[in-house]
Chains A and B, each alone.
Chain A
């Protein structure tokens, strides 16, 4: 029927008088009187639909390149060209993401293209997005110009690589983003010597060189650029011969100090630099047997962050000392990890550096629960050293 009404109109428009007449007449009528609230422009599945009156008359049409994908991280923008906008009150893009009610956004003019509809980035969730386009005409009727709610167009949502990586890593850690851990170790360096030089001469003292450390930590795993952040609090107590620089009121040296210790809190942030390269940065605040001390630490992780990897790191704490370490975590079994550790350290507050050679074994005893033991040998003097042993526990939630 539309075709029949259009032909004479076209002829009249082409007549000599048509130019003036065309300016005067109202927009060509659109036969939508019999239409349902939303009228499909043409039944689908029929190639002959190309002959549709809607496609060939002056009825408004909306032309766009149907989207195939939508990338997360950016708004999803659909560009379209609209004919006969004077007949259109609103061009509506309706969309639906997984199991959620449909939402509408309007096509609006843009400076770069004809019309754009913008789906907010926040709505790009799940695997797919479905959309369809309807025109609301000035006469109050609606015209489905592109698909319909019953037969929407499906767009694949492409997560960003960061999102994908987060999902993969989260699956890897069984969805457990929280880690509560505790550890304790006893470290024996044997005997060490220290020389205290005073006005009266030098005094050499020998003392046992040992300490223990207990530590508790909480870690949260965003698993994005910031892969993890954690807070450790701990305590170190021990003995080592330390020349004490302070003097008493008479100016006499206080001599060799033996009891050392550290109470500390240390936030750590782990950055994901690539799939196999991560970096840790740590700040530390503490009090020692002397007073307030600050510290920093850092580590470079190469390999699988939750499996086999190599860690090269350091930690420097005012007064208390420095340590540099290399740790190789080897997942010999999905539940068992062996870790040789090589450490050079002058902690706690020692005069000279020593070498620690440690081995650590952790076992996953239950989902999210891991226990471990460590042991080794360390020495600051070639002819004096001692053993170390410790245990750790971690629960992932």
Chain B
């Protein structure tokens, strides 16, 4: 036939196929109750009197062994009919946060009793999932019904349309097209598309997308655009990240990045074919409750974009949604909603500026303790200096490093007070590294590692404390110390910071220092080695009072009293200089 030669019969056929085409578009862009997939023919003003229909409904109740469906003779079903049962799945993507919906076929149901609006059905064989209320049923072997009888069902969906998204619609559309009406057999294009749709039943979205694209590539079809849109939609849904977002059923593609840089504008582009008045990007900071609108400018046919200004791009991020504006001037959600927006993380750029030491401290302490009434045979003199810094309350709170010198003499009570033996001299020159780890603002653990040179060579030691209370406020420290060649100490220390200019420290120690270890001592006169036991345990009580001459400089004096017996005891004293920066 020559091109351009149009007869009345061909016009009628054209009308029918146009209806088919519009049905594809309608199914693609409008989410609907499954029942709404009961044929695009409802929009046909001049449809044939009878045609095949796909009847879809829901499982609405369980009644003993029977499943109650909201389908009946009104939809043209009869006892003995077998319907497919599908499980709808609607998930929020755990990574992208986007809504993903699809459905899976779980088996078939056989209708036992079919009434006007309800039916009893039972599973045929074993279902892949137990039947649940809300499952979708559809009659794979459609009954013939009049288009008139279908109209009310299609026009009055019984569920929210959002329960089945466009992707489901995209599935349903092929399914619907799987039952071609009485089109003209001469319209091979439409028939091939219908056959393509029918062959896609139950196929995975990506398979369907590939087949649609391959179909378009392999031949010239006027449904190319629709098929490609379907393919894009299916791919995007399968991908779950970028690309088309079909929550609203309107075909579109938009890329929402997960993470962007701060203080830089961001351009969001949108591909949205069809007749729309425009689109609006709504953006708010994550910390703000309301959105700022950014109308999207059309840059090319079907393409829109809007720029989010740099001053909006602040950590921790932004929330956004895109609304499409229809010809009637109303805005509808396109990607995201006001209550469930999409999110973009605005990351914090690495900051490698010079680390500021807000709480640095230099400390010098000297302490003398006489344990035996000034006899000079049992004493200890320790001097320490360190420098450190404080970071934060939680985690690594502070680090300090310093040096110390310990010198002393001592022995057992028997040696010193009864036998009048020469005391043993001990000493340690040491360095130490100390760290404080805060479990909370209130509790922390302090640990110190010490290495030094004693009379017998290199030795080591350590301290450990638990601090209750913040170090910047009044706190209590409980812990102990071991020093190689020197001995042990158990320490309880209360730091009073109730008076701003007068810090007070009260401390008690239980110790066998300074001669806290046993040793074989060689007598220089006789050359014989003599076993010498460690000092007896004694108790020290120390009080230290400081005064802040200036806020950063504190001078302190300390006094102490210690003894191993009530007679073997003596006073002590010391001083401290503390400088903070």
Q: With an 8 A cutoff between CB atoms, is A145 at the interface?
A: yes
A382-B455 in contact given A17-B5, A22-B220 (Cβ < 8 Å): yes
A23 near B257 (CB under 8 angstroms)? no
Q: How many residues of B contact A (CB 8 A)?
A: 99
Is B244 on the interface with A (CB-CB < 8 A)? yes
Q: Which A-chain residue is minimally distant from B184 (CB atoms)?
A: A16
CA A21 to CA B213, docked complex, whole Å: 23
Which 7 pairs from chain A and chain B are nearest by CB?
Answer: A66-B269, A17-B1, A342-B431, A65-B253, A16-B186, A14-B14, A15-B10
Q: CB-defined interface of B263-306 with A at 8 Å, one 1/0 digit per residue?
A: 01111111101111110000000000000000001111111010
Q: Is the pair B264, A146 in contact by a Cβ cutoff of 8 Å?
A: no
Asked if B350 and A168 make an inter-chain contact with CB atoms under 8 angstroms apart, the answer reads yes
Which of B225, B229, B267, B355 contacts A68 (CB under 8 A)?
B267
The chain A residue with its CB closest to the CB of B253 is A65
Q: Is the CB of B431 within 8 A of A156?
A: no
Which residue on chain B has the smallest CB distance to residue A52? B301
Which B residues lie at the A interface, using CB under 8 A?
1-7, 9-11, 13-14, 17-18, 184, 186-189, 213, 216-217, 220, 222, 224-225, 228-229, 231-232, 235-236, 242-244, 253-257, 259-261, 264-271, 273-278, 297-303, 305, 307, 325, 349-355, 357, 360, 386-389, 399, 401-403, 427, 429-433, 451-458, 581
Q: A residues 63-81 with Cβ under 8 Å of B?
A: 63-69, 79, 81
The answer to whether A49 and B4 have CB atoms under 8 Å apart is no
Given A83-B216, A303-B355, does the pair A19, B186 have CB atoms closer than 8 Å?
yes
CB distance from B391 to the nearest CB of A (A): 9
Interface residues of A in 154-206 (CB under 8 A from B): 154-156, 158-159, 161, 164-165, 168-169, 171-172
| A249 lies within 8 A of chain B by Cβ | no
Contact across chains for B187 and A19 when beta carbons are under 8 A apart: yes
Contact (A66, B270) CB under 8 Å given A44-B298, A49-B298: yes
Residue A389 at the B interface, CB < 8 A?
Answer: no
For residue B1, which residues in chain A have a CB less than 8 angstroms away from its CB? 15-17, 20-21
Q: Which residues of A contact B220 (CB under 8 A)?
A: 22-23, 27, 86
A304 (CB) vs chain B CBs: closest residue: B355
With CB as the reference atom, state the residue of chain A lying closest to B259: A158
The chain B residue sitting closest to A161, CB to CB, is B350
- Contacting pair A308 B13 (CB below 8 A): no
- Count A interface residues, CB 8 Å: 94
B453, A382: Cβ atoms closer than 8 Å: yes
Within 8 A of B (CB), among A32-47: 40-42, 44-47
Say whether B257 contacts A68, CB under 8 Å.
yes
Q: Considering the chains assembled together, what is the distance between the CA atoms of A243 and B435 in angstroms? A: 41
* Known A14-B17, A22-B189, A158-B260: A50·B269 in contact at CB below 8 Å: no
A262 within 8 A of B: no
B452 engages A355 (CB within 8 Å): yes
CB-contact partner of B213 in A47, A69, A81, A340, under 8 A: A81
Contact of B403 among A64, A155, A164, A340 (CB under 8 A): A340
A275 within 8 A of B: yes
**Given A47-B278, A65-B253, A354-B458: A12 in contact with B3 (beta carbons within 8 A):** yes
A357: chain B residues at CB < 8 Å are 403, 429-431
The number of A-B residue pairs with CB atoms under 8 Å apart is: 272
B454 touches A382 (CB 8 A): yes
- Looking at chain B's contact residues, the main secondary structure is mixed
Task: Enumerate chain B residues within 8 angstroms of A18, measured Cβ to Cβ.
Answer: 10, 187, 189
> Is A65 touching B453 in the complex (CB atoms < 8 A)?
no
| A16 close to B402 (CB less than 8 A) | no
A68 touching B3 in the complex, CB below 8 Å, given contacts A44-B297, A331-B354, A332-B357: no
Q: Give which listed residue, A51, A65, A145, A379, contacts B244 with CB less than 8 A.
A: A65
The 8 sampled A-B contact pairs (Cβ below 8 Å) are: A12-B3, A14-B18, A45-B298, A147-B303, A158-B257, A171-B352, A308-B355, A342-B433
Contacts of A168 in B (CB 8 A): 349-352
- CA of A100 to CA of B259, assembled, Å: 26
Contact between chains at A51 and B275 (CB < 8 Å): yes
Selected contact of B458 from candidates A11, A63, A161, A344, CB within 8 Å: A344
Decide if A291 is an interface residue (CB 8 Å cutoff): no
Enumerate chain B residues within 8 angstroms of A332, measured Cβ to Cβ.
Answer: 357, 360, 581
Asked whether A68 and B269 contact (CB < 8 A) given A158-B261, A172-B353, A304-B355, the answer is yes
Q: How far is the CA of A344 from the CA of B484 in the complex (A)?
A: 15
Q: Does A352 contact B (CB under 8 A)?
A: yes
With A113-B235, A168-B352, A377-B429 given, is the CB distance from A326 to B13 under 8 Å?
no
Determine the chain A residues whose CB is within 8 A of the CB of B256 once the complex forms: 68
What are the residues of chain A within 8 A of B277 when measuring CB–CB?
Answer: 47
* Interchain nearest-CB distance for B445 vs A (Å): 17
Shortest Cβ distance from B360 into chain A, in angstroms?
6
A13, CB-defined interface residue at 8 Å = yes
Write the nearest CB–CB distance from B231 to chain A, whole angstroms.
7
Residues of B within 8 A of A164 (CB): 349-350
Is the CB–CB distance between B224 and A84 below 8 Å?
yes
In the complex the two chains form, is B5's CB within 8 Å of A379's CB?
no
A83 vs B325: C-alpha distance when bound (angstroms): 26
